[in-house]
Amino acid sequence: MWTALIPIIAQYGLPLAESLFQKWTSGAVPTQADWDELRALASQSAQDRMKAQLAAAGIPTDDPKAVALLALAK
């Protein structure tokens, strides 16, 4: 299982890998909504995820430290 998830984590990030793992272990048949959710997670860039984390922490994206972090997330 880990050998399958590690490349997904490295390429797409932990949120997508976690969602995929939860869906995989639930045993439920994948729905169109499941695929749509995974597609949306896979299409997020590192900057998109960084902006979401900054917003969740209440840090404006024009804060100098946020700007530096976003520059690293390219």
10-25 confidence digits (pLDDT tens): 888 888 889 889 988 9
Please give the residue that has the higher pLDDT: either 32 or 73: 32
- Look at residue 60 in the predicted model and tell me its pLDDT: 97
Residue 6 binned pLDDT confidence (cut-offs 50, 70, 90): confident
- Shared domain for 70 and 57, answered yes or no, is yes
Q: Are 60 and 66 in contact (CB under 8 A)?
A: yes
- Shared domain for 73 and 53, answered yes or no, is yes
Domain count, the chain: 2
**In percent, how much of the chain has pLDDT > 70?**
100
- Look at residue 73 in the predicted model and tell me its pLDDT: 85
Residues in the chain: 74
- Shared domain for 7 and 29, answered yes or no, is yes
- Shared domain for 4 and 37, answered yes or no, is yes
* pTM of the full structure: 0.58
Q: Give the residue numbers spanning the domain of 62.
A: 45-74
3-state secondary structure of 1: coil
CA torsion sign, 58 to 63 to 66 to 70?
Answer: positive
- Shared domain for 3 and 37, answered yes or no, is yes
